[in-house]
């Protein structure tokens, strides 16, 4: 059983039974703070009050706060200012639990983004190696059109091949080629840009991401779409299959504009265009006769050149996408870390306010006793 000093009992008796006792006027906040400090200091540091320390161990913080709140009526009007001075805007326990859950969720997201960044970094080495070899091959392929001075016939039909992929979480990589396609179509005269006219431009999209973006404004221009693009490093067989389907389709064209993302550095990319021409445009080129060839290979050369151009665009676009994904996941991880720090600070402040509020209730109740 806990025993209290006699002076405490006599003080309480005089407070409740003395006929001459009148409620004192409200003391200033500074005096109340000093009294509270002295009460806590004596409560924990005085060796003669060891039974009180044992009582503190046995009774939980919430039970003492409840006990203090039940003792408040004994104070009457003696300390209204003290109650107002010690009132703290403590966050409710439910809010603290919500903050704790949010911190946990953001930590899980941070783990995912860091893992995706590591995977993208590993894939980028393989993608850049394939890109460098494909760029040399594609540049050599483009020399044929440049040296032969091939041009599209006046009023000829243009075909736009938009190189995208099916995967997201890579920044504005898909919006870049979609925006460039709209800009290039806007440069064409309104009559030539009419999709219903025989000479209107056609659009072929590689990948679901740019397809969803271009369908809103260029739905009538879409001639073919390809899915399951960008799952792995593109190969020449993939590009040859796409070129073969283009030639087998009913899409007629004189010039092909391949819109893709050009790899600039580890931090940047930009949209660019590779050009290819039809068999008729190659035959009509002024200097095409300088190349020694058989009569029946012009069509095969046009198909092979288109496949080469698509392959170069696919590989470089894939490297740009992987690089953009790595940067996006890196930024996401940094933002998650900042959010965790902010939420953790809010949680600590709320928890500190809740504990302070309970301690104030204990001190106020002890002062009343």
Does residue 289 sit within a domain?
yes
> Is 97 contained in some domain?
no
Asked whether the beta carbons of 204 and 310 are under 8 A apart, the reply is no
Judgement on whether residues 278 and 134 belong to the same structural domain of the protein? yes
Check whether residue 157 and residue 291 sit in a common domain.
yes
- The reply to whether 130 and 66 lie within a common domain is no
pLDDT of residue 17: 43
Let me know if residue 303 belongs to a domain. Answer: yes
220 and 288 inside one domain: yes
pLDDT, mean of each 10-residue run, the chain (369 residues):
44 41 44 45 46 45 53 46 46 71 94 94 90 80 75 79 90 91 82 57 91 88 86 89 89 89 89 86 76 71 88 92 93 94 91 88 79
Same domain, 74 and 190: no
pLDDT at position 295, please?
Answer: 64
How many structural domains are present in the chain?
2
pLDDT at 3: 46
Phi-psi region of 171 (alpha: psi -120 to 50; beta: other; left: phi over 0): left
Pick left, alpha or beta for residue 93 (phi over 0 → left; psi -120 to 50 → alpha; otherwise beta): alpha
Four-residue CA torsion sign, 352, 358, 362, 364: positive
For residue 270, being part of any structural domain is answered with yes
Beta bridge partners of 261: 271
Residue 108 lies in a domain: no
Which residues contact residue 21 at a Cβ distance below 8 angstroms, ignoring those fewer than 6 apart? Answer: 14, 15
pLDDT value at position 46? 46
Same domain, 71 and 142: no
Structural domain of residue 131, as residue ranges?
120-330
Q: What does the pLDDT read at residue 195?
A: 55
What are the φ/ψ torsions at residue 54 (nearest 5 degrees)?
-65, -35
| Percent composition of the chain: helix, strand, coil (DSSP 3-state, to 5) | 65, 10, 25
82 and 135 within one domain: no
Q: Are residues 66 and 168 in the same domain?
A: no
Residue 274 β-bridge partners: 258
CATH number at residue 300: 3.40.1380.10
227 occurs within a structural domain: yes
Judgement on whether residues 259 and 325 belong to the same structural domain of the protein: yes
Q: What is the pLDDT of residue 293?
A: 65
Tell me, rounded to whole angstroms, the distance of Cα 89 from its chain centroid. 33
Q: What is the 3-state secondary structure (H, E, C) of 242-265?
A: HHHHHHHCCCCCCEEEEEEEEECC
What ranges make up the beta strands (E) of 11-146?
Answer: none
Same domain, 318 and 253: yes
Question: CA 178 to CA 230: how far, in whole Å?
Answer: 16
In contact, 338 and 110? CB cutoff 8 Å: no
Does a structural domain hold residue 347? Answer: no
Res 216: pLDDT: 87
pLDDT for the residue 6: 44
Concatenating the DSSP letter of every residue in 51-87 gives: HHHHHHHHS-HHHHHHHHHHHGGGGTTS-HHHHHHH-
Same domain, 230 and 274: yes
Asked whether residue 41 is domain-assigned, the answer is yes
Do 60 and 188 fall within a single domain? no
């Amino acid at each position: 059983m806990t025993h209290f000093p006699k002076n405490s009992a006599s003080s309480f008796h005089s407070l409740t039974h003395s006929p001459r006792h009148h409620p004192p006027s409200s003391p200033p906040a500074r005096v109340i703070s000093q009294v509270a400090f002295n009460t806590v200091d004596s409560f924990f540091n005085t060796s003669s009050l060891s039974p009180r320390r044992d009582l503190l161990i046995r009774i939980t913080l919430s039970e003492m706060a409840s006990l203090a709140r039940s003792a408040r009526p004994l104070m009457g009007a003696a300390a209204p200012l003290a109650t107002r001075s010690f009132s703290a805007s403590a966050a409710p326990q439910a809010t603290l639990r919500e903050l704790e859950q949010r911190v946990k969720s953001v930590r899980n997201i941070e783990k995912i983004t860091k893992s995706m960044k590591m995977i993208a970094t590993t894939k980028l080495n393989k993608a850049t190696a394939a890109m460098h070899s494909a760029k040399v091959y594609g540049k050599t392929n483009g020399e044929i059109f440049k040296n032969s001075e091939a041009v599209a016939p006046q009023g000829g039909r243009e075909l736009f091949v938009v190189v995208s992929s099916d995967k997201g979480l890579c920044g504005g990589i898909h919006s870049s080629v979609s925006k460039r396609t709209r800009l290039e179509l806007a440069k064409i005269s309104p009559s030539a840009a009419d999709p219903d006219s025989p000479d209107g431009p056609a659009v072929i999209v590689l990948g679901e991401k740019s397809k969803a973006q271009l369908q809103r404004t260029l739905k009538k221009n879409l001639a073919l779409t390809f899915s399951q693009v960008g799952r792995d490093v593109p190969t020449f067989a993939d590009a040859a299959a796409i070129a073969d389907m283009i030639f087998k389709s009913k899409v007629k064209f004189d010039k092909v504009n391949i819109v893709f993302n050009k790899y600039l550095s580890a931090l940047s990319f930009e949209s660019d265009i590779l050009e290819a021409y039809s068999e008729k445009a190659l035959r009509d080129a002024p200097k095409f006769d300088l190349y020694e060839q058989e009569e029946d290979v012009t069509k095969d050369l046009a198909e092979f050149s288109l496949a080469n151009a698509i392959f170069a665009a696919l590989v470089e676009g894939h490297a740009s996408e992987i690089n953009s994904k790595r940067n996006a996941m890196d930024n996401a991880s940094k933002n998650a870390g900042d959010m965790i720090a902010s939420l953790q600070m809010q949680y600590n402040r709320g928890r500190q306010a809740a504990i302070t509020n309970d301690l104030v209730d204990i001190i106020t109740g002890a002062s009343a006793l």
